[in-house]
Amino acid sequence: MIAVPLSAVAGHHPMGASTGALGRGDDWPALVRSACGVSTHAVELAAHDAAELPGLVAYLRGRPRLPFRHVSVHTPVKGVAAPEAERVAALLRLPPGVRTLIAHPDLVGDPEPYRVLGRRLVFENMDDRKAGGRTADELAPLFEALPEAGFCLDVAHAHTLDPSMALADELLDRFRGRLREVHLSSIRGGAHTTLTAGDEARFGPLLARCRDVPWILEARPPARWSQAEPGAGRRLPLVRTPLAA
Amino acid sequence: MSVAALAEATGEGFGPILRARERTAAGLAERRARLDRVRLDPDAAVVLLGSWGRHEVTSASDDDAIVLFCGERRDFTRPGPGEVAAVLGGPAPGPEGLFGATAWLADLTDRVGLDGDTNVNLTRRMLFLLESVAVAGDQAHARARRELLGLYLAPHERDYRPPRFFLNDLVRYWRTIAVDFEGKHRARAGEGWGLRHAKLRFSRKALFAGGLLPVLECHTLPADAMSAFLGGRLAEPPLDRIAAAFLTHGMPDAGARALRAYGDFLQLLDDPRQRGELSRLSEADADGSEVFARVRERGDELQAALLALLFEVPELERLVRDYLVF
């Protein structure tokens, strides 16, 4: 657990982990137990590959006794060859307890089939390696077509495009009312990595605008969040290691 | 108006809230005109509570009225509650006998705590302070609010510290509402569960938060300035007090999301189909209701914003820690 606030960022209570940052495979009970080691408030169940989705659906339809107050699913971004209507139909099999379906905007060709997902559908902004869905202007047409859809601010994605974070601020200015979740990590070499101290400080003012929504860690929590700070005068509990499977 | 200030700061429209306020203002003016021909004792006020006091009237709002007398208890009073109900054209009083009746200020100020402070008495006292508006007898209404605030502040001598007596009664009232939710569920065999649940998540929560935040904000004041501060704050609708807190503490984004969620609730109440579905919804059927799913989701958003305000603003978090648990 992130039990003691060490900084304004680490002290944010509605925090959780993406299972994609904790392990791979389809042992969902084990992934969930690992996520509980970070936080029992929120979780993002990552079915990044389309082949992982049926197993996740089966797991969730088995009504596992999850402790989380916020459960989101990262919808597949790999192996998504099926027509969009079929992709949406697969997502509709997820039980209503999953309130948020994180999707990549650049994978949406025709928004119409997605309309049925209503407020559950949440688009995250893309990073500098993608061709679309990165900026407010690029996302705006999708939100116009899907007025119920929400927004997930991926802070690190925005940072790859604009280290000044002005882009991230603009995304919040434009889609403030749609914000449902934040993705939090650093990005190094094109991959999500543990939030660096520099990025934590850099992202702080932006994250302060998002304190009412869950922040999902897309990499393991920084060790410094569980260590005594110099001069703090007290020893803080370690982030609990993942529970045994 | 702090909702307007939050709208200006964030570019949000808060359309459903503004529409409800327009409807409230028009309705109040009309009721004031109707009551103008009713004779009132000098110490009497006709007070509307509930959605009128919150300035959130929708198409299905009731006229939750009480005739309040601030003077000596006596047998003959004007107006009688029946006369007021006839003029307002409101519905019959609810099963708890809370509205459509006569109340004495002395009961509200003298019967605090212990056995004499009945559920109805506590509820009236809190509603008078937190969400009431006079449609006749403005002076008596203002006097009642002053005396009620005086009751809570009289024993409070500390500067820069929230008035604990008021805070305790406020917290007690909120918890009473939550416990009574279960009591009503049992007493009415589940009838009306869905709508009551929605109100608990939104209007009741806004009522509590709208009282809690100004009381906590008293920590910036010397004790002798608290009465004027609270009097001014509590004269505003609860959503204005909440919006002001989000602005004051540098959280306009979260405040905007909170009020958007709240506006969604008002829109739902104003829609006969959705309101009807909620009114008929039982707890057993809740999981299959899209309307209820929306209530739950938007209610969680409102709560998340309020919790972020209370627990992630260091100034407020310290006050919550010092005063809200024990």
Q: Are the Cβ atoms of B250 and A208 closer than 8 angstroms?
A: yes
When pLDDT is cut at 50, 70 and 90, the band that residue B97 belongs to is: low
Closest residue to A211, CB basis, from B12, B301, B312: B312
pLDDT of residue B92: 53
Q: Is there a contact between B30 and B64 (Cβ–Cβ < 8 Å)?
A: no
Chain B residues near any Cβ of chain A (below 8 Å): 10-12, 250-251, 253-254, 256-258, 260, 287, 293-294, 297, 300-301, 304-305, 307-308, 311-312
- What is the distance in angstroms between the Cα of B285 and the nearest Cα belonging to chain A? 14
pLDDT of residue B81: 87
Tell me if residue A78 falls in helix, strand or coil: strand
Q: Which chain A residues have a beta carbon less than 8 Å from that of B297?
A: 99, 119
| Both tokens assigned to A235 | 């020893």
Tokens 């065999």 correspond to what residue?
Answer: B189
How far apart CA B203 and CA B207 sit, in angstroms, is 6
How far apart CA B207 and CA B209 sit, in angstroms, is 6
How far apart CA A236 and CA A228 sit, in angstroms, is 5
- The H-assigned helical ranges of chain A are 28-36, 53-61, 84-92, 136-145, 155-161, 166-175, 197-207
Q: Are the Cβ atoms of A176 and B297 closer than 8 angstroms?
A: no
When pLDDT is cut at 50, 70 and 90, the band that residue B155 belongs to is: confident
pLDDT of residue B82: 87
How far apart CA B140 and CA B184 sit, in angstroms, is 33
- What is the distance in angstroms between the Cα of A47 and the nearest Cα belonging to chain B? 23
pLDDT of residue B62: 86
Give the predicted TM-score (pTM) of the model. 0.92
Q: Are the Cβ atoms of A176 and B256 closer than 8 angstroms?
A: yes
Interface contacts (A, B; CB < 8 Å): 50
Average pLDDT over residues B307-312: 96
Q: Is there a contact between B102 and B80 (Cβ–Cβ < 8 Å)?
A: yes
More confident residue, B190 or A136: A136
- Does residue A244 register a pLDDT over 80? no
- Does residue A236 register a pLDDT over 60? no
Q: How many Å separate Cα B45 from the centre of its chain?
A: 18
Closest residue to A177, CB basis, from B250, B256, B304: B256
- Does residue B306 register a pLDDT over 60? yes
When pLDDT is cut at 50, 70 and 90, the band that residue B96 belongs to is: low
- What is the distance in angstroms between the Cα of B3 and the nearest Cα belonging to chain A? 15
Q: Are the Cβ atoms of B312 and A12 closer than 8 angstroms?
A: yes
Count of CA atoms in the C-beta half-sphere (13 A) of A41: 19
Percent of chain B with pLDDT strictly greater than 70:
97
Q: Is there a contact between A159 and A165 (Cβ–Cβ < 8 Å)?
A: yes
Closest residue to A211, CB basis, from B256, B294, B308: B308
Average pLDDT over residues A147-167: 97
How far apart CA A135 and CA A171 sit, in angstroms, is 7
Q: Which chain A residues have a beta carbon less than 8 Å from that of B293?
A: 96
DSSP B92: P
Q: Which chain B residues have a beta carbon less than 8 Å from that of A209?
A: 253-254
Q: Which chain B residues have a beta carbon less than 8 Å from that of A14?
A: 304, 308
Q: Which amino acid is at A6?
A: L
Q: Would an 8 Å CB–CB cutoff place A13 in contact with chain B? A: yes
Q: Would an 8 Å CB–CB cutoff place A238 in contact with chain B? A: no
Say if strands B44-49 and B132-136 run parallel, antiparallel, or are unpaired. Answer: antiparallel
94-153 in chain A: CB under 8 A from chain B? 96, 99, 119
When pLDDT is cut at 50, 70 and 90, the band that residue A234 belongs to is: very low
Average pLDDT over residues B249-273: 97
In terms of CA atoms, which chain A residue is nearest residue B263? A177
How far apart CA A150 and CA A171 sit, in angstroms, is 12
- Does residue A62 register a pLDDT over 50? yes
Q: Are the Cβ atoms of A13 and B307 closer than 8 angstroms?
A: yes
Q: Best mutation site among A116, A121, A212 for testing chain B: the one with the most B CBs within 10 Å?
A: A212
| Both tokens assigned to B265 | 């609730």
Q: Is there a contact between B100 and B92 (Cβ–Cβ < 8 Å)?
A: yes
pLDDT of residue B94: 53
Tell me if residue A197 falls in helix, strand or coil: helix
Average pLDDT, chain A: 89
pLDDT of residue A89: 97
Q: Which chain A residues have a beta carbon less than 8 Å from that of B10?
A: 176
pLDDT of residue B90: 61
CA distances, B133 to each of A155, B55, B101 (Å): 46, 9, 16
- Does residue B156 register a pLDDT over 70? yes
- What is the distance in angstroms between the Cα of A81 and the nearest Cα belonging to chain B? 31
Q: Would an 8 Å CB–CB cutoff place A91 in contact with chain B? A: no
Q: Which chain B residues have a beta carbon less than 8 Å from that of A99?
A: 297
Average pLDDT over residues B85-105: 74
Q: Are the Cβ atoms of B12 and A13 closer than 8 angstroms?
A: no
Q: Are the Cβ atoms of B308 and A96 closer than 8 angstroms?
A: no
Q: Are the Cβ atoms of B257 and A11 closer than 8 angstroms?
A: no
- Does residue B13 register a pLDDT over 70? yes
When pLDDT is cut at 50, 70 and 90, the band that residue A245 belongs to is: very low
For B29-77, what is each residue's pLDDT tens digit? Answer: 999 999 999 999 999 999 999 999 999 999 999 888 999 999 999 999 9
pLDDT of residue B95: 52
For B195-221, what is each residue's pLDDT tens digit? Answer: 999 999 999 999 999 999 999 999 999
Average pLDDT over residues A209-234: 79
Average pLDDT over residues B269-294: 94
Q: Is there a contact between A61 and A95 (Cβ–Cβ < 8 Å)?
A: yes
How far apart CA B260 and CA A177 sit, in angstroms, is 7
Q: Is there a contact between A182 and B275 (Cβ–Cβ < 8 Å)?
A: no
Phi, psi (5° rounding) for residue A182?
A: -125, 140
Average pLDDT over residues A102-128: 97
Q: Are the Cβ atoms of B256 and A211 closer than 8 angstroms?
A: no
